[in-house]
Amino acid sequence: MTTNPTPPAPPRAADAHIAPPPAPAPAATRPSADGPRPPLRIVLTVLELAALGAVGSATLAALSAVLGVGLALLFVFGIGLLFLVGVVYAIYGVAWFEVRRVGSLYGADVPDLRWRERTRPGFGGWLRNLARQSVDGRMWRMMLNFVLACILGTILLRVFWGMIGSVFFAFAPLSSEGRIEGPFGNYLAVEWAPLIGILGLLAGVAGMIGLALLHRVLSRALVIPSREAELTAQVRTTTAQRAGAVRAAELERTRIERDLHDGVQPRLVSVGMTLGLAKQKIDADPAVAKALIDEAHTSTKAAITELRQLARGIHTSVLDDRGLDAALSALAGRSHIPVQLDVRIDPSATGAGASCRDAEAAVYFAIAESLTNAAKHSRASECRVVVRSRDGGLWARVEDNGMGGAQVQPGGGLDGITNRVLAAGGTFRLDSPAGGPTSLEVSVPCAS
């Protein structure tokens, strides 16, 4: 799929991945209605810290051991690479768990941690993707929060056992007389034991609450995005979408002007000239005038067909009347090459409204342009179109078995797809190595 015919020289492999800035997190600093109340939240925080102190420390020890083995065996036929790859996946899993844990604990809408999208195919693309993920800043912030939570949990367990000791110390007069060894190694009268035990118990409770509050402060700083960061990301995303919308509108206007100037306008001029000749011949030579009128009639019908096709490129009525599935079926039926269409859309997963209609339109025109380019330039014998509901939006993939070498060129069809998808808040990825195949993926959210 290309926007221009491939030059005689072998085309250079192209791989484009264009996405808007990271979507802003929802109002993560505002607790949701489903979050636990503050007193219960402190209790849950204490329990989670205790669990992390017991289990998390073992997890960190295991990760450290695997990392050490990987580094030790790195130069032994590259065996250590397998361990290092496993460490990256394990850290990602721990970080993903930390996002979910903190989000549910504090009732905040924290966006899930996502694995970076691949930008190149094959084994090399997988290695590049793995390297990019291994330096992902957000993943490491989540991992740091997990480590700090484990440290706080270990301290909390020690405080807990100190509280248990304070309880036994408070009841020391029941089993001892005279003097008793105090908590700091000094000896004091056994009559002071209940008071010191109660004070120790209260200090332990205060320490556990303090650790829970400290964990909240650290988590809000590392995991939950601040209001300022949220607004900054939102402005950045809105700016990128606005630029994409302006660029897409400009490209669409240019395309309409070009189609009208190169197609419909000359045909209508020809119709006018033919009717003028028929008017001159109608008295002197009615037979010739009739032939000219028939020719003008045929040209008029052809112009109407071109106008319909042009209007379909601007807006397709079947998309509004019968939905994306029916519109793509009609599009596949008009394609000059065979199209395998696989559409599975769950309306309940994508929702409804103007935002979803915009997403459907963006996906439809991306697929339409891809099929047009495949038929014109790629020398493909078949295409496959897959559309799915994914993460509250729409995901589509178009793949042909053509010659490849597609590139996003300014003002071309793929440039129009890019800006239309970007304006809708989605992502666009093109993979077209020399020799093919060419695949195009778009993902557009439905949520406004």
pLDDT value at position 24? 42
**Does residue 347 sit in helix, strand or coil?**
helix
pLDDT category of residue 1 using cuts at 50, 70 and 90: very low
If you count them, how many residues does the chain have?
448
More confident residue, 348 or 30: 348
For the chain, how long is the longest CA-to-CA vector? 141
Distances, alpha carbon 346 to alpha carbons 152, 384, 389, 444, in Å: 44, 20, 6, 15
- Spatial separation of the C-alpha atoms in residues 1 and 402, rounded to whole Å: 8
Lowest mean pLDDT of 231-240, 358-367, 415-424, name the range. Answer: 231-240
Q: Does residue 220 surpass a pLDDT of 80?
A: yes
Q: For residue 392, what pLDDT is reported?
A: 76
CB within 8 A of 282, min separation 6: which ones?
289
Confidence (pLDDT) at 148: 92
Q: How far apart are CA 438 and CA 401, in angstroms?
A: 7
For residue 383, the cross-strand partners are: 339, 400
Contacts of 116 (CB under 8 A, 6+ apart): 129, 132, 133, 136
pLDDT at 247: 61
CA distance 164 to 205: 11
Report whether pLDDT(354) > 90.
no
Q: What percent of the chain has pLDDT over 70?
A: 69
Question: What are the sequence ranges of the domains in the chain?
Answer: 14-20+236-445, 26-224
Radius of gyration of the chain (CA): 34
Residues 6+ apart with CB under 8 A from 24: 230, 231, 233, 234, 237
What lies within 8 Å, CB to CB, of 259 at 6+ separation is 306, 310, 313
Contact 381/421 with Cβ under 8 angstroms? no
Query: CA angle 378-379-383, nearest 5°?
Result: 75
* Least-confidence region, from 10-14, 38-42, 144-148, 348-352: 10-14
CB burial of 167-191 (b: ≥16 within 10 Å; e: otherwise) equals eebbebeeeeeeebeeeeeeeeebe
Confidence band for 11, pLDDT divided at 50, 70 and 90 = very low
Contact predicate 319/361, CB 8 Å:
yes
Spatial contact of 424 and 392, defined as CB atoms under 8 Å apart: no
Residue 213 has pLDDT above 80, yes or no: yes
Which fold does the domain 14-20+236-445 belong to in CATH? Heat Shock Protein 90 (3.30.565)
- pTM value is 0.55
Residue 365 and residue 20: Cα distance in Å, rounded?
A: 19
What is the DSSP track for 319-335? HHHH-HHHHHHHHHHH-
Q: d(Cα 425, Cα 446) in Å, to the nearest integer? A: 9
Report strand pairing: 383-390 vs 393-400.
Answer: antiparallel
Which carries the bigger pLDDT value, residue 36 or residue 333? 333
Average pLDDT score over residue span 299-313:
68
Six-digit token string for 139: 């993943």
> Cα-flanking dihedrals φ and ψ of residue 18, to 5°?
-120, 125
Beta strands 14-18 and 427-432 are: antiparallel
Write down the mean pLDDT value for the chain: 74
- The partner residues of 210 in beta bridges, in order of sequence, read none
Q: Is the pLDDT of residue 21 over 50?
A: no
Burial of 432 (0-12, 13-18, 19+ CB in 10 A): buried
Cα end-to-end span (Å), the chain: 31
Of 181-190, 396-405, 422-431, which one has max mean pLDDT? 396-405
